[in-house]
Amino acid sequence: MKVTIVSPEKTLYEAEADGVKFPGALGQFEVLNGHAPIISVLEAGDIECKGLSPFKISISGGFVEVENNVVLACVEK
């Protein structure tokens, strides 16, 4: 699935990933290929992408939208 993580200043990550863990408002959750469409608020914590281009970043909050194997996260560092 295509994952894009942006901040107000720049694009932080853009690549294909096998899975992504997010710090959701109700606890950590993971998005995998074929995940149902969602929009979720993100709390302070770590986002971790798994796959050929692994990536981990600490955020202070934001939101994520998942639809049709496209993941877009807008975050504050």
- Kindly give the confidence (pLDDT) of every residue in the chain, 77 residues in length, as a single tens digit, with 9 standing for 90 and above: 999 999 999 999 999 999 999 999 889 999 999 999 999 999 999 999 999 889 999 999 999 999 999 999 999 98
- Give residue 35's pLDDT: 92
Cα–Cα dist 8/54, whole Å: 22
Q: What is the pTM of this model?
A: 0.91
- Per-residue confidence (pLDDT) for residue 45, from 0 to 100: 97
Residue closest to 61 by CA, chosen among 20, 18, 8: 8
